[in-house]
A and B are shown apart, each in its own frame.
Chain A
């Protein structure tokens, strides 16, 4: 096994081990922190497909994170108020069931990514960054000014949604659920990276002309990647809203987009486990430095500068070196 594989396994062991220890030591807050890390990691894994493999620097992924969050908030708020979402043309009721909420979150954020991607991917480089940011801000302000679902104040849910066979109110069980989703998506991403699609998407990042001249259309590859990417980040959003039992426009803000990108940069752009390690480091810093000073973002900024200037491969790059060419 390569050093990168060992690093990845170690990251997973820490992410699973810390909450288990916290469970034994009766420290539920630590379990919540680990759950947060797992969910952030999932959001980052989503963005990493577009950013790392596809080279699409999206500064609007909070849109999908927030849409996933609102999918949960809207469905659950209707369910807890016993008020259907729509009665015509057919009855649509709210739900407190996680699998249904996840499905809605994934479909809604995939559709949003399809619309945003179809337009944004006609541009590239700095224009792409700006146009994804602009779409993100549009949705953010829409959420703020839409009073039906809390507007600026957001939506609170009294009781966490349910998953068949689990007591999701128990922190360790909810963590286990989020961790399992993360692992499943990581396996999926690992397959995608090594698939025909992954090879072509990565080649389109490196040399668009090459991909065109072997008869493939880069736009199509990127759009598909963007949709899958948005859908995964949307799923993470639904879990994040459920963790907090609260969703607000903050989840849609451009700072959120930036944070998701930061996870990837810290861990290693394009590395399968980059966002996982990045999210863990981020939560650790937020918890430890945040206790020292409320201006802990200064230290985060310094860390980012250091990584961008001196260790472009992030944590994984520093430990495992240049990515091995797979064959």
Chain B
């Protein structure tokens, strides 16, 4: 059996009477892309936020490489190796592209309380930052103001910042959202490379991308995982056809 990197164990989260997450157990194994799909309001974003520590779970546990993350905040979980990208870009818009990646490298090194040395002249931070930019193909835009990037480039920058954290796991919330056909192709190529660095838990609405990338797919409906399996298994599962995919399944 392949090594499990991230595991959730019977996670629950309710908002009033709404059971947003209803006993979700899933795992993410080394080298894989595990896609989480489900209709709007199924609780995908809630689940991601419980994993990253932005939302406290009512019960259940999240484990990273066997270490329970219970009680840790998002900053501590990031330091332990959860690299996250956001559905809506979360970047320092006034900063340059390079500054955004250097911030990630700085977070990875954990030496933010330095008050005098100029951070943008720090060779090791710059090396890590440029390496990440090269991986996502943004090297030419290092000195561009982030607000001046196109939507697709911002998505790439999100991935680059996550890369600087040298994460053990990537959690990606709709990285394809709003990308054109060409942009989506580029992102698919990028994620195919990234899974070698760390496994990816991928939330995505773009079914072409999901079926192209995922090694396993879990289907979340009303806060419960109704099926987990390979893309082939999911495609032919009649319950999922009814609940989510509709009758026309992508080839």
Q: Give me the interface of A with B, judged by CB distance under 8 Å.
A: 191-192, 194-200, 202-203, 206-207, 209-217, 221, 224, 323, 325-327
- Check if A206 sits within 8 Å of B103, measured CB to CB: no
Residue on B with the closest CB to A199?
B119
Q: In the complex the two chains form, is A210's CB within 8 Å of B143's CB? A: no
Report B168 CB to chain A, min CB distance, Å.
13
Query: Per a CB cutoff under 8 Å, which of B73, B95, B120 touches A203?
Result: B95
| Residues of B157-188 whose CB lies within 8 A of A | 161, 164-165
Contact pick for A195, options B75, B96, B116, CB 8 Å:
B116
B94 part of interface (Cβ distance < 8 Å): yes
- Chain B count of residues within 8 A CB distance of the other chain: 44
Chain B contacts for A217, CB-based, 8 A = 73, 75
Supply 10 further A-B pairs (C-beta < 8 A) apart from A210-B100, A212-B74, A215-B108.
Answer: A196-B115, A198-B119, A199-B103, A199-B106, A203-B100, A210-B103, A210-B161, A213-B78, A323-B94, A327-B96
Task: Pull 7 A–B residue pairs with CB atoms less than 8 Å apart, ordered by A.
Answer: A194-B118, A196-B106, A203-B92, A207-B93, A212-B75, A214-B106, A325-B143
Tell whether B156 is near chain A: CB-to-CB under 8 Å: no
Which among B91, B93, B96, B115 has the greatest number of chain A C-beta atoms within 10 A? B115
Interface mask (B26-37 → A, CB under 8 Å = 1, otherwise 0): 000000000000
User: A217 vs B104: C-alpha distance in the bound complex, in angstroms?
Assistant: 13
Residue B79 interfacial (CB < 8 Å): yes
- The answer to the question of B123 belonging to the interface, with a C-beta cut-off of 8 Å to chain A, is no
Interface of A is mostly: helix
Identify the interface centre among A191, A196, A211, A215: most chain B CB within 10 Å of its CB.
A215
Pick from B92, B110, B112: contact of A206, CB under 8 Å: B92
Bound together, the chains give a CA A217 to CA B116 distance in angstroms of 20
B57 contacts the other chain (CB 8 A): no
Instruction: Given A196-B106, A217-B73, check contact A210 B114 (CB 8 Å).
Output: no
A207 proximity list for chain B (CB < 8 A): 90-93
The answer to the question of B218 belonging to the interface, with a C-beta cut-off of 8 Å to chain A, is: no
CB neighbors of A among B97-141 (8 A): 98-100, 102-104, 106-108, 110-120, 122
Please give me the residue from chain B that is nearest to A201 by CB atom.
Answer: B112
Contact assessment for B75 and A202 in the assembled complex, using a CB-CB cutoff below 8 Å: no
Per-residue contact bits, chain B 74-87, to A (CB 8 Å; 1 contact, 0 not): 11101100001010
Instruction: Flag if B102 contacts A199 (CB, 8 Å).
Output: yes
> Chain B contacts of A197 at CB under 8 A?
112-115
Q: B98 contacts A327, CB within 8 Å?
A: yes
> When the two chains form their complex, are residues B113 and A214 in contact, meaning their CB atoms are under 8 A apart?
no
- Give complex CA distance A127, B75 in Å: 24
Cα of A192 to Cα of B74 in the assembled complex, Å: 26
Q: CA A14 – CA B122 in complex, angstroms?
A: 35
Contact A192 B115 (CB under 8 A): yes
What separation, in Å, do the CA atoms of A197 and B86 have in the docked complex? 24
Chain B nearest CB, measured from A54 CB (Å): 13
**Does any Cβ of A come within 8 Å of B52's Cβ?**
yes
* B120 close to A327 (CB less than 8 A): yes
Residue from A192, A213, A217, A221 with most neighbouring chain B CB atoms (10 Å): A213
Known: A207-B93, A210-B92. A215 touches B107 (CB 8 A): yes
With an 8 A cutoff between CB atoms, is B145 at the interface?
yes
Q: Which of A196, A202, A214 contacts B78 (CB 8 A)?
A: A214
Q: Which residues of the partner chain A approach B161 to less than 8 Å between Cβ atoms?
A: 210, 214
Contact B94 A200 (CB under 8 A): no
7 closest A-B pairs by CB: A214-B107, A215-B78, A215-B79, A203-B92, A215-B107, A196-B119, A206-B92
Residue of B nearest to A323 (CB): B94
Residues of A within 8 Å of B95, CB to CB, are: 199, 202-203, 206, 325
